[in-house]
């Protein structure tokens, strides 16, 4: 099945909010990780979101190029080709883009979509994320509004963020941020609605409620999901039930499942999954190397064992394990068996 159209993506998000589940959003960096994501979603019979970060795009372009736009285009086009062979819908998204990279990443990708649409071709990406959380809320929303005005005519959904997700991701370290910045306020969420809603395009909000990027033992990440509830209430009390925002959950590694499920009640429709899938991908490779140490290396003049140093022998294991972790994420977020294409009804 092709990558989701704008209408299908909107239907995915509407259905998730109505039926109280969320889609895992999986970061990819290569054809192998794309295949793992597609397999994981297909095995779960769940639609899903595949996303590319600035660092992921740079990596995919190769060491001699280090071009985040080129790499993102290559990955998106590969996703589109490979997704044709699956029976679930996939939306393509770009992850955290900070203000200093907007001109070098987001704008060129939006321009590429506009060019493709003029040629009668589908969008390059379905949605983009602008992470203006390092700015004041007012400046964040000013820049978010400008980007939404570019996205809306091209049927691109914009994801924005208020507050700061702690920890470190893709080279952006917020570990020194004051604790009060880790929590979005109802006033912040109201400002997002009042700034972006008049534009007319569709958008999502990554509101922070104690989220932290990285990997932590269960119980170490202290979330306050009621922040999302209170923010939604501030909006709907003033503008009505239909004004409730589509919310995104970042930094969920180490979160209690009960906290994750509570966020679904408050409008979370997308949850980023990267740290856990990185580990799931790498773990079987490490096991392969340690188990086949004398085969993957030419020790003391020996010739090694081509069957075990052939990259395909361990990359297949990595793909399989990452796919299984994605299938588990679908179960955790209650999206299993909900694909629009299957006509399934969420449990």
User: Where in the chain are the domains?
Assistant: 6-276+333-342
119 burial type by CB count under 10 A (0-12 exposed, 13-18 middle, 19+ buried): exposed
Tell me which of 2.40.170.20, 3.40.640.10, 3.40.50.1820, 3.20.20.70 is the CATH number of domain 6-276+333-342. 3.20.20.70
Question: Which of 75, 85, 92 has its CA nearest to residue 32?
Answer: 75
Angle at 62 between CA 60 and CA 67, to 5 degrees: 75
Please tell me the predicted confidence (pLDDT) of residue 251. 77
How would DSSP label each residue in 180-235?
GGGB--HHHHHHHHHHHGGG-S-EEEEE-BS-BSS---TTSS---THHHHHHHHHH
Question: What is the 3 state secondary structure string of 142-170?
Answer: HHHHHHHHHHHHHCCEEEEEECCCECEEC
230 counts as catalytic: no
Mapped onto helix, strand or coil, the DSSP state of residue 75 is helix
Place of tokens 């770009």: 94
Please tell me the predicted confidence (pLDDT) of residue 123. 98
* CB distance 174 to 206 below 8 Å: no
Please tell me the predicted confidence (pLDDT) of residue 113. 98
Please tell me the predicted confidence (pLDDT) of residue 177. 47
* CB distance 24 to 327 below 8 Å: no
Model's pTM, two decimal places? 0.92
Please tell me the predicted confidence (pLDDT) of residue 172. 44
Helix (H) / strand (E) element for 272: namely strand 268-273
Please tell me the predicted confidence (pLDDT) of residue 222. 74
Please tell me the predicted confidence (pLDDT) of residue 215. 53
- φ and ψ at residue 128, rounded to 5 degrees: -135, 150
From 95, 274, 276, 332, the catalytic residue = 95
Please tell me the predicted confidence (pLDDT) of residue 214. 54
Please tell me the predicted confidence (pLDDT) of residue 308. 98
Cα 109 to Cα 89: distance, rounded to the nearest angstrom = 22
Q: What is the mean pLDDT of each run of 10 residues along the chain (347 residues)?
A: 92 98 98 98 98 98 98 98 97 97 98 98 98 92 98 98 62 47 88 98 94 56 88 98 96 83 98 95 98 96 96 98 98 98 56
- φ and ψ at residue 341, rounded to 5 degrees: -70, -30
For 167, the token pair is 């920890």
């Amino acid at each position: 099945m092709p990558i989701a159209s704008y209408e299908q993506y909107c239907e995915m998000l509407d259905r998730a909010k109505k039926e109280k589940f969320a889609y895992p959003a999986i970061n990819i960096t290569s054809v192998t990780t794309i295949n793992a994501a597609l397999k994981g979603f297909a095995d779960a019979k769940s639609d899903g979101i595949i996303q590319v970060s600035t660092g992921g795009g740079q990596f995919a372009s190769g060491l001699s190029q280090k071009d985040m736009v080129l790499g993102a285009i290559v990955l998106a086009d590969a996703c589109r080709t490979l997704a044709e062979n699956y029976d679930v819908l996939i939306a393509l998204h770009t992850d955290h883009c900070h203000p200093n990279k907007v001109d070098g990443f987001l704008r060129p990708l939006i321009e590429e979509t506009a060019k493709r649409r003029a040629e009668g071709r589908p969008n390059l990406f379905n949605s983009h994320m602008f992470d203006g959380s390092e700015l004041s809320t007012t400046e964040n929303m000013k820049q978010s509004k400008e980007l939404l005005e570019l996205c809306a005519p091209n049927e691109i959904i914009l994801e924005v963020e208020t507050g700061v997700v702690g920890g470190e991701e893709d080279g952006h370290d917020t570990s020194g941020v004051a604790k009060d910045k880790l929590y979005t306020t109802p006033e912040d969420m109201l400002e997002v609605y009042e700034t972006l809603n008049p534009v007319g395009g569709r958008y999502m909000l990554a509101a922070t409620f104690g989220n932290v990027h990285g990997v932590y033992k269960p119980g170490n990440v202290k979330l306050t999901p009621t922040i999302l509830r209170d923010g939604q209430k501030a909006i709907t009390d003033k503008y009505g039930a239909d004004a409730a925002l589509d919310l995104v959950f970042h930094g969920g590694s180490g979160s209690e499942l009960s906290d994750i499920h509570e966020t679904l009640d408050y409008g979370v429709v997308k949850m980023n999954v990267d740290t856990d899938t990185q580990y799931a991908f790498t773990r079987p490779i490490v096991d392969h190397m340690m188990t086949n140490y004398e085969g993957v290396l030419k020790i003391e003049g020996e010739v090694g064992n081509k069957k075990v140093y052939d990259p395909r022998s361990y990359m297949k294991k990595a793909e399989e394990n990452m796919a299984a972790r994605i299938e588990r994420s679908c179960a955790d977020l209650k999206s299993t068996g909900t694909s629009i294409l299957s006509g399934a009804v969420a449990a």
